[in-house]
C-alpha cells in the first residue's frame, strides 16, 4: 500500500511550529500549506478560505488536518469541518492549545486582564498589533484598546532570549506588566502526531 498523502492546512501564524512538530517527530512526509495569518482580523472569512483550500487540496491528499482552532468563527468552522469530515486543532484559539486547553481554561479568570503573545506574535508584534490596530499612526488609541489590560503574558514556544526581549519590549510599549511562561507547543504536538501516524500509534487514536 502506498503511504498516505497527508496535509496540514494551517493558519500562517502556526507555520514554524507545525514544521517543528513534523521535524521533531520524523513526519517529513506530511505536507504543510498555510493560509494568511491576517484572516484573524476577519474571522468570518476563515471558514470560506478554509473550504476553498480544502477543495483545492482534496485531489492531491488522502488526509487533511485543519490547523486552526475555533479562532472566533463561533462554531462556523466546526460546521464546515463536519460537512467535510475533517478535524481541527483543539480549543478556542492558539493561546489555549499552546498553554494546554484545560490548563488555559483553569486560569481563565486569573488571566482575564492578560494580553497573550506567542513566539509568532512576539516576532510580528510591530506589524500585527501596533500597525494592525493603527497604534503607529494613532498612539492616542492605546487606552481604547488596552485600557482594561494589565499584563502581557508571553506564552513561549521556545527558549529564545531575543524573542523574550521583543516580548518584553512589547509590554513596555503598551505600558503593561510582563510575564513569561514557557509552554512549548502544548496540545499542538499530540494533535499533529495522532493525525499523521494513526496506524503506527493506534493507542493514540481517539485522543484529543
Partner 1 sequence: MADDGDIVLSELPDGDLVKQMHDDLYDGLKDEIEEGVRILLKRGWTPYRTLTEALVEGMRIVGEDFRDGILFVPEVLLSANAMKAGMAILRPLLVETGAPRIGKMVIGTVKGDIHDIGKNLVSMMLEGAGFEVIDLGINNGVEKYLAAIEEHKPDIIGMSALLTTTMPYMKVVIDTLKEKGIRDDLVVLVGGAPLNEEFARSVGADAYCRDAAVAVETAKEFMMRKHNQRAAVRA
- 177: helix, coil or strand? strand
Binds partner 1 (CB under 8 A): choice among 73, 118, 124, 194: 73
Verify binding: residue 166, ligand B12, rule CB under 6 A.
no
141 binds, among ligand B12, partner 1, none (CB under 5 to 8 A by kind): partner 1
Q: How many CB atoms lie within 10 A of CB 133?
A: 16
Binds partner 1 (CB under 8 A): choice among 85, 109, 162, 203: 109
Binds ligand B12 (CB under 6 A): choice among 9, 30, 40, 191: 40
Binds ligand B12 (CB under 6 A): choice among 20, 65, 101, 114: 114
76 binds, among ligand B12, partner 1, none (CB under 5 to 8 A by kind): partner 1
Binds ligand B12 (CB under 6 A): choice among 15, 27, 43, 49: 43
Nearer to ligand B12, 62 or 131 (CB): 131
Verify binding: residue 128, partner 1, rule CB under 8 A.
no
State phi, psi for 91 to the nearest 5 degrees: 95, -175
Q: How many CB atoms lie within 10 A of CB 100?
A: 16
178 binds, among ligand B12, partner 1, none (CB under 5 to 8 A by kind): none
Distance between alpha carbon 3 and the CA centroid of its chain, in Å? 28
Q: Which strand (E) or helix (H) includes residue 19?
A: helix 15-24
116 binds, among partner 1, ligand B12, none (CB under 5 to 8 A by kind): ligand B12
Verify binding: residue 205, partner 1, rule CB under 8 A.
no
Compute the distance between CA of residue 91 and CA of residue 105 in angstroms, rounded to an integer: 9
- 87: helix, coil or strand? strand
**Residues 10/199, Cβ–Cβ less than 8 Å:** no
Binds ligand B12 (CB under 6 A): choice among 97, 146, 154, 195: 146
Burial (0-12, 13-18, 19+ Cβ within 10 Å), 118? buried
Compute the distance between CA of residue 188 and CA of residue 190 in angstroms, rounded to an integer: 6
Which residues between 85 and 104 bind ligand B12 (CB under 6 A)? 92-93, 95
Compute the distance between CA of residue 27 and CA of residue 17 in angstroms, rounded to an integer: 13
CB of 63 to partner 1, least distance (A): 26
Verify binding: residue 202, partner 1, rule CB under 8 A.
no
Amino acid at each position: 500500500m502506498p503511504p498516505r498523502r497527508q496535509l496540514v492546512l494551517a493558519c500562517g501564524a502556526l507555520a514554524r511550529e507545525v514544521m517543528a512538530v513534523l521535524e521533531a517527530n520524523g513526519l517529513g512526509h506530511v505536507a504543510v500549506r498555510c493560509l494568511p495569518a491576517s484572516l484573524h482580523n476577519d474571522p468570518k472569512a476563515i471558514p470560506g478560505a478554509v473550504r476553498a483550500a480544502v477543495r483545492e487540496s482534496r485531489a492531491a491528499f488522502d488526509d487533511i488536518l485543519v490547523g486552526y482552532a475555533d479562532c472566533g468563527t463561533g462554531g462556523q468552522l466546526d460546521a464546515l469541518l463536519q460537512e467535510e469530515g475533517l478535524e481541527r486543532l483543539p480549543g478556542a484559539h492558539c493561546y489555549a492549545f499552546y498553554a494546554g486547553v484545560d490548563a488555559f481554561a483553569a486560569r481563565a479568570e486569573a488571566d482575564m486582564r492578560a494580553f497573550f503573545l506567542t513566539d509568532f506574535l512576539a516576532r510580528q508584534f510591530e506589524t500585527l498589533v501596533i500597525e494592525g490596530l493603527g497604534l503607529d499612526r494613532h498612539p492616542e488609541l492605546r487606552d481604547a484598546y488596552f485600557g482594561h489590560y494589565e499584563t502581557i503574558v508571553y506564552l513561549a514556544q521556545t527558549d529564545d532570549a531575543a524573542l523574550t526581549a521583543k516580548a518584553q519590549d512589547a509590554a513596555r510599549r503598551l505600558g503593561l506588566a510582563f510575564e513569561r511562561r514557557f509552554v512549548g507547543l502544548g496540545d499542538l504536538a499530540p494533535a499533529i502526531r495522532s493525525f499523521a501516524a494513526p496506524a503506527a500509534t493506534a493507542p493514540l487514536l481517539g485522543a484529543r
